[in-house]
């Protein structure tokens, strides 16, 4: 996998999100934030995540969606349960994924991070295909950007977010990254 000069990942399905903007001038992207998402919670495979990130989620389509009405969020990438990679925002732009956040004393994590959503929940294991896709993506991002750190959404927004959850296999991901 390769990230092109246009900020797009080769092989990723592109679904453009309007929920992004320019990063502050001179800011380097040094952090990858791992999230998890499923819409409705615990259900996989539908188009609700893509609809949320493109402002097309119908709040009447499911009782849970009503609380998301008007929300403007995105991530750079989504890794589906089968390992499919979907890209919403080019890596040089700022996706709106971390919200109010701080990493190692530095606030506004969206300014200097890449957001990757894994289709899943805190309560379930992620799939081997997702870990493999995340490792490939992380290697490609590191080849294009000065990405040096990985964190969970719960690390940058403690007390507010719990994803990707205690079951996320950090050791396995780091081992896969070290092998290449």
What integer pLDDT is reported at residue 45 of this predicted model? Answer: 95
Letter string b/e over residues 75-114, b meaning 16 or more CB atoms within 10 A of that residue's CB: bbbbbbbeeebbbbbbbeebbbbbeebebeeeebbbbbbb
C-alpha span between 100 and 106 (Å, rounded): 11
Range(s) of the domain holding residue 75? 13-178
Other Cβ atoms less than 10 A from the Cβ of 53: the count is: 29
pLDDT at 164: 97
Residue 40 and residue 79 in contact, taking contact as beta carbons nearer than 8 Å: no
In a domain, 5, yes or no: no
Tell me: the pLDDT tens digits for 91-122? 999 999 999 999 999 999 999 999 999 999 99
pLDDT at 49: 98
- The total number of structural domains that make up the chain: 1
pLDDT of residue 44: 97
Instruction: Note the pLDDT of residue 101.
Output: 98
Taking the whole predicted model, whether its pTM rises above 0.95 is answered as yes
Q: Is residue 85 included in any domain, yes or no?
A: yes
Task: Say what the pLDDT of residue 154 is.
Answer: 97
Establish if 133 belongs to a structural domain. Answer: yes
In a domain, 43, yes or no: yes
Is 8 domain-assigned?
no
The verdict on residue 3 lying in a domain is no
State the CATH number of the domain containing residue 129.
3.40.80.10
Task: Indicate whether 1 belongs to any domain.
Answer: no
79 falls within a domain: yes
Q: Is 117 a catalytic residue?
A: yes
pLDDT at position 179, please? Answer: 85
Sheet containing strand 149-152, strands side by side: 13-14, 85-87, 77-79, 113-119, 31-37, 149-152
Q: Which is catalytic among the residues 22, 50, 117, 119?
A: 117
Residue-level pLDDT, tens digit, the chain, 180 residues: 999 999 999 999 999 999 999 999 999 999 999 999 999 999 999 999 999 999 999 999 999 999 999 999 999 999 999 999 999 999 999 999 999 999 999 999 999 999 999 999 998 999 999 999 999 999 999 999 999 999 999 999 999 999 999 999 999 999 999 987
- Write down the pLDDT at residue 98: 97
Q: With the C-alpha atoms ordered 55, 56, 59, 63, is the resulting torsion angle positive or negative?
A: negative
């Amino acid at each position: 996998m390769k990230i092109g000069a246009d900020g797009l990942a080769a092989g990723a399905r592109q679904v453009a999100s309007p929920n992004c903007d320019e990063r502050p001038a001179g800011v380097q992207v040094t952090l990858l934030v791992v999230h998890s998402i499923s819409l409705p919670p615990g259900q996989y495979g539908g188009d609700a995540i893509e609809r949320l990130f493109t402002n097309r989620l119908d709040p009447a389509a499911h009782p849970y969606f009503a609380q998301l009405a008007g929300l403007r969020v995105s991530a750079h990438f989504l890794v589906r349960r089968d390992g499919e990679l979907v890209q919403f925002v080019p890596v040089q732009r700022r996706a709106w994924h971390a919200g109010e956040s701080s990493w190692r004393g530095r606030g506004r994590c969206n300014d200097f991070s890449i957001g990757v959503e894994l289709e899943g929940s805190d309560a379930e294991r992620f799939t081997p295909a997702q870990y493999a896709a995340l490792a490939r993506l992380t290697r490609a991002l590191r080849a294009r950007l000065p990405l040096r750190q990985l964190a969970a959404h719960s690390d940058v927004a403690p007390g507010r977010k719990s994803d990707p959850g205690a079951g996320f296999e950090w050791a396995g991901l780091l081992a896969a990254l070290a092998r290449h």
